[in-house]
């Protein structure tokens, strides 16, 4: 899955929303289903990740969303939106 221009915006806005979030959610937390289920309605980025996981079956997250898997290795949300 590549992130085309129209697909990229929810992730950009969602990452911006998570900067200094009061719930202390880190980029790597996209792999924690408990956090996804608890906060997906509140945070756009988590909602997008939850949607991807709900429509993709088999394999690992890194196989069907390698770019998002790479992004999850970043330690803070600020790094995702700085170009």
Structural domain range at position 70:
5-81
Provide the CA 2 distance to its chain's centre, in angstroms: 14
pLDDT tens for 2-58 read: 555 457 788 889 999 999 999 999 999 999 999 999 999 999 999 999 998 888 877
pLDDT tens for 47-82 read: 999 998 888 877 888 888 888 888 899 888 988 776
Q: Please choose, from the candidates 68, 17, 74, 8, the residue with its C-alpha nearest in 3D space to the C-alpha of residue 40.
A: 17
Q: What is the pTM of this model?
A: 0.85
Interacting residues of 80 by C-beta distance below 8 A, sequence separation 6+ = 11, 12, 15, 27, 71, 74
- Domain count for the chain: 1
CATH number at residue 13: 1.20.120.1150
Cα separation, 15 vs 10, whole angstroms: 8
């Amino acid at each position: 899955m590549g992130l085309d221009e129209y697909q990229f915006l929810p992730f950009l806005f969602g990452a911006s929303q998570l900067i200094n979030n009061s719930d202390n959610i880190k980029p790597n937390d996209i792999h924690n289903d408990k956090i996804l289920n608890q906060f997906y309605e509140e945070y756009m980025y988590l909602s997008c990740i939850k949607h991807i996981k709900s429509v993709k079956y088999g394999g690992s997250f890194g196989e069907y969303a390698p770019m998002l898997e790479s992004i999850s290795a970043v330690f803070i949300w600020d790094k995702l939106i700085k170009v």
